[in-house]
Amino acid sequence: MRTHDFTDFNKLAELVLSYRRAKPMLVALHYDLFSEIAKGRVTAASLAAELELDAPALERLLDALCAIGWLEKRGRRYRNTRAGRRLLVETSPEYVGSNLKYQEHTWDAWSDLRYVIKEGKPRRGLLDWIRKDFFTADYIKAMGDVTRHPARELAEKLDWTGVARTLDVGSGAGTFSAAFVEKSPSAVAVLLDLPKPLAVAKSLLKRHPGADRFRFKPADYLADSLGENEYDLVLISNVSRVEDEKSNRLLVAKAHRALKKGGRLIIHDYALDPDRTSPLFPALMSLHVLLFTGKGRAYTAAEYEGWLRGAGFKALSGIPIAKESLHPSLAVVGRKA
Ligand SMILES: C[S@@+](CC[C@H](N)C(=O)[O-])C[C@H]1O[C@@H](n2cnc3c(N)ncnc32)[C@H](O)[C@@H]1O
């Protein structure tokens, strides 16, 4: 008898059932199970008692986490994997749990996808979520986790000669401004965001060694002015994808006004290839922002360059960021002539 070829079916089943691996991980992060296990609460019973959970149900979750490779079990005791100790335990400097936890908030929005495809607009608004305190703190911390390395890489690849003042538009956790202050010996970094996210950034950056060089400017980047002839460098990072083309062109024009002559604008975000079907991460990101904003999407490098040229920027160049990661991005740089 010929053996059945399961290859295609396996691929399909793995894809469709991947939620059964994602959800246990998200729930484990929700209850900080990896951090609790690192503190020595290593049986289902001790964890359940500490966290007021149902011990038999928790045991099934812990076993499932072993099956997917993020916990190990000896007898009745669980321990973190090497990778888990690095990435999933709160006290580790490489902790990425805030970002991953935030994915559980977005899970509900993805459940709207079938309606959004029919109705063409989201059922939840990003700004409504930002206004909710619980979402803001998680969302901002989440951005901070994933942008730490790209921010340092971008700062590393820029020329800091003569840069005295930078503006970070939609600054989020302020990771990019932090990297700028670390790289430049004297630049003052202005962070601009809506009041609530800005307050979160302020508290996150309180103990930064360059804290005296941060300035915090609560503003709406679409409704308010970004300033006039006052910055050497303006950064618009991971903001383009939440806005439509018209708002992006408006932002780029405002950034042009805010820059001194010779100053640089940097748009940093994911970049789709021209036919918009790759890379995978921005192709899925385009769908993701559709679920939160009726207007945003992922753009191509040519679109970013078109906005910069349209506003009068010259000497355009591109800096690839995090090229080897699952989510490579692009910094498009233009100079005010
Ligand atoms: C995806 S985050 C990017 C954060 C940061 N620039 C980075 O790259 O990590 C988008 C940021 O834009 C801010 N934002 C959204 N709409 C805004 C508006 N109308 N005015 C000012 N900030 C806004 C959000 O609060 C959020 O911090």
**What domains are there in the chain, each with its CATH number?**
7-91 (1.10.10.10), 146-336 (3.40.50.150)
Q: Indicate whether 301 pLDDT > 80.
A: yes
Q: Are 332 and 158 in contact (CB under 8 A)?
A: no
What is the chain's mean pLDDT, rounded? 93
pLDDT in tens, 100-125: 888 887 888 899 999 999 999 888 77
Structure tokens at 286: 């385009």
Q: Indicate whether 131 pLDDT > 70.
A: no
Residue listed under structure tokens 């007898």: 75
Q: Indicate whether 292 pLDDT > 90.
A: no
Sign, Cα dihedral of 27, 30, 34, 38: negative
Residue 138 or residue 96, greater confidence:
96
State in Å: Cα 130 to ligand 1 middle: 10
* Least reliable range by pLDDT among 90-94, 127-131, 266-270: 127-131
pLDDT band at residue 2 using 50, 70 and 90 as cut-offs:
confident
- Helix crossing, 97-110 with 133-157: angle to 10°? 120
Strands 313-321 vs 329-336: parallel, antiparallel or unpaired: antiparallel
pLDDT in tens, 36-89: 999 998 999 999 999 999 999 999 999 999 999 999 999 999 999 999 999 999
- Does the CB atom of residue 175 touch ligand 1 within 6 A? yes
- Does the CB atom of residue 220 touch ligand 1 within 6 A? yes
* Least reliable range by pLDDT among 96-110, 261-275, 321-335: 96-110
Q: Indicate whether 181 pLDDT > 70.
A: yes
**Confidence at residue 1, expressed as pLDDT on a 0 to 100 scale:** 67
**Confidence at residue 135, expressed as pLDDT on a 0 to 100 scale:** 61
State in Å: Cα 127 to ligand 1 middle: 10
Name residues whose C-beta falls within 8 Å of residue 8's C-beta, 6 or more positions apart in sequence.
none
Instruction: Point out the ligand 1 atom lying closest to the alpha carbon of residue 136.
Output: 25
Atom 27 of ligand 1 has which residue's CA nearest to it?
A: 172
Instruction: Point out the ligand 1 atom lying closest to the alpha carbon of residue 221.
Output: 20
State in Å: Cα 17 to ligand 1 middle: 33
Instruction: Point out the ligand 1 atom lying closest to the alpha carbon of residue 196.
Output: 25
Instruction: Point out the ligand 1 atom lying closest to the alpha carbon of residue 140.
Output: 27
Q: How far apart, in whole angstroms, are the C-alpha atoms of residue 33 and residue 50?
A: 11
Percent of the chain clearing pLDDT 90 (strictly above): 81
- Does the CB atom of residue 238 touch ligand 1 within 6 A? yes
pLDDT band at residue 129 using 50, 70 and 90 as cut-offs:
low
* Least reliable range by pLDDT among 18-27, 104-113, 137-146: 137-146
Residue listed under structure tokens 């979520």: 129
**Confidence at residue 304, expressed as pLDDT on a 0 to 100 scale:** 98
* Least reliable range by pLDDT among 21-35, 138-152, 251-265, 303-317: 138-152
Residue 38 or residue 96, greater confidence:
38
| Closest to 296 in 3D by CA, of 122, 54, 174 | 122
**Confidence at residue 71, expressed as pLDDT on a 0 to 100 scale:** 98
**Confidence at residue 100, expressed as pLDDT on a 0 to 100 scale:** 87
Structure tokens at 296: 């945003």
Q: Whole-prediction pTM value?
A: 0.89
Residue 130 or residue 258, greater confidence:
258
